[in-house]
Amino acid sequence: MTTDPRRAQLRRMKAIALAMLLTMLAGFVLSHWMGNQGVWAWVSAFCEAATVGALADWFAVVALFRHPLGLPIPHTAIIPRNKARIADSLAAFVRDHFLEPQNLLARLEVFDPAAKLGQWLSHPEQSRRLAQMARGWALQALDLLDEQAVRESIQRFVVARLQAWDAAATAGEVLGLLTADGRHQQLLDEALKRLSRYLDGEAVKQRASDLLVKHARREWPRLVGTVNWVKPVEGIADDLAERIARAVLDELNEILAQPKHPIRRDYERWLRGYVQRLREDPELAARVSRIKQGLIDHPSVQEYVRGLWDQIHAALRQDLEREDGVLAGHLERSLSGLGEALGRDQALREAINQHVMGGAEKLALRLRGGVTDYIAQTVKGWDERHLVEQLELSVGRDLQYIRFNGTLVGGLIGLILHAIIVVLERMP
């Protein structure tokens, strides 16, 4: 246990004051023993008055904290006896001088918090230090989190949002955007072009020919055998696949070339009708909702949602553990930018100061009564011995100078009085 250095200092000052008192007593006794004549009369006058002054000031200092010599003398032990009044006075002092809204606002207005903050943040090392402090706080916060509870909360949040999501209405809105400005026709054109390129490929034509031959041999084996005498059925299938592909490609090119083609009108009518049904048809909406719920309940989706926090946690920790991480760098740049903005933007400073002033006023009004009661009750609840000890350690050393001064001033007054008596005795 570390010894309070004030205790040794107080003991030393008390010892000096006591030594002075004992010295004065010794001088008083010695002067009377020497006959109290001549020089010794002056010594006696000084020491007698100094002793009285020292004893009086010792009594005054001790009476603040306790009963002198343990005697219950009235108006002594002033601090312990008036602990409640001191507590109320201290609480009222803090309330009136530190939590008075007008005083607090006046100090804040002179301080100009926004300007001071801007000056502080304008130094890169300050922004970097603050960003690193925030990075450390964030890492500690990650360690304090109950991961299981967070994981379950995220899962409940995501699932609840998915269940509350109107998938049919959203699909209708998305398709509605696709139909705006003819985007759906552009989409159809792109799909037809891709289909044309696909059908024009030799591999597709060959697969179609093989399917025709396979089907013909299965359905009309005798006819195929007869035809083979005239021309191989594979050649016929190749020609037929080529003609079918050419006919389909011609039809696709015709659709692409004619904005008013019947297929385009049918596509337009079907798509707009389907969008309308997504928005208004309860049966279709219920069917989409059942599909959505099936996806939500799928084990893979549930497992993915449960693992979201693990991925987020790992990414956050990996970034926060690096001094040059993305989050720390972004925060440092933001803080530095805020400092620069505060330095050049008077309106921003005024707005921040206004918010600070308003918040400080509300906080002062809210805390004023509570802090006052807290201070008063805390002081009243202190043990009297502990209170006296702490106060004496704080101011007792300085109070010993009262005893020093009382001894010296008392002695000087004794000399003055003795001198007056001598003068009066010599007057005719």
224-260 residue pLDDT tens: 556 555 556 566 666 666 777 677 777 777 777 777 7
Lowest mean pLDDT among 227-241, 274-288, 311-325, 355-369: 227-241
Q: Residues 405-422: what's their mean pLDDT?
A: 90
Amino acid, res. 412? L
First and final C-alpha spacing in the chain: 71
Q: What span, in angstroms and rounded, lies between the C-alpha atoms of 321 and 136?
A: 8
Q: Hey, how many other C-beta atoms are within 10 angstroms of the C-beta on 190?
A: 10
For the CA atoms of 31, 32, 33, 39, the dihedral, rounded to the nearest 10 degrees, stands at: 40
- The larger pLDDT score, comparing residue 220 to residue 53, is at 53
Q: Residues 34-55: what's their mean pLDDT?
A: 90
Whole-number pLDDT of residue 172: 77
178-196 residue pLDDT tens: 676 666 777 777 777 777 7
Q: Residue 278: name the closest of 184, 175, 172, 180 by CA.
A: 172
Q: Residue 199: name the closest of 245, 253, 241 by CA.
A: 245
Q: Residues 152-167: what's their mean pLDDT?
A: 83
* DSSP per-residue codes, 315-340: HHHHHHTSTT-HHHHHHHHHHHHHHH
- The larger pLDDT score, comparing residue 105 to residue 42, is at 42
Whole-number pLDDT of residue 214: 66
Q: What span, in angstroms and rounded, lies between the C-alpha atoms of 266 and 232?
A: 41
Whole-number pLDDT of residue 181: 65
Q: How far is CA 261 from CA 60, 125, 169, 190, 265, in A?
A: 114, 70, 30, 16, 6
pLDDT band at 124 (very low <50, low <70, confident <90, very high): confident
Whole-number pLDDT of residue 413: 92
Q: Hey, how many other C-beta atoms are within 10 angstroms of the C-beta on 419?
A: 12
Token duo for residue 417 = 């009085």
Whole-number pLDDT of residue 131: 87
Q: What span, in angstroms and rounded, lies between the C-alpha atoms of 126 and 114?
A: 15
Token duo for residue 230 = 């005239």
Per cent of the chain over pLDDT 70 is 88
Q: What span, in angstroms and rounded, lies between the C-alpha atoms of 5 and 2?
A: 9
48-93 residue pLDDT tens: 999 999 999 999 888 888 888 888 888 888 888 888 888 888 888 8
pLDDT band at 24 (very low <50, low <70, confident <90, very high): very high
Q: Residues 124-130: what's their mean pLDDT?
A: 87
Q: What span, in angstroms and rounded, lies between the C-alpha atoms of 393 and 2?
A: 15
Token duo for residue 353 = 């100061």
Q: What span, in angstroms and rounded, lies between the C-alpha atoms of 243 and 245?
A: 5
- The larger pLDDT score, comparing residue 392 to residue 365, is at 392
Whole-number pLDDT of residue 396: 81
Domain map of the chain by residue range? 5-81+383-426, 160-305
> Mean pLDDT in the chain?
81
With 70 as the cut, is the pLDDT of residue 308 above it?
yes
Per cent of the chain over pLDDT 90 is 9
Whole-number pLDDT of residue 1: 47
Q: How far is CA 171 from CA 162, 277, 289, in A?
A: 14, 11, 11
CA 426 to chain centre: 85
Q: What span, in angstroms and rounded, lies between the C-alpha atoms of 392 and 399?
A: 9
* DSSP per-residue codes, 213-248: HHHHHHH-HHHHHHHHHHS-HHHHHHHHHHHHHHHH
Lowest mean pLDDT among 62-76, 279-293, 358-372, 395-409: 358-372
With 90 as the cut, is the pLDDT of residue 22 above it?
yes
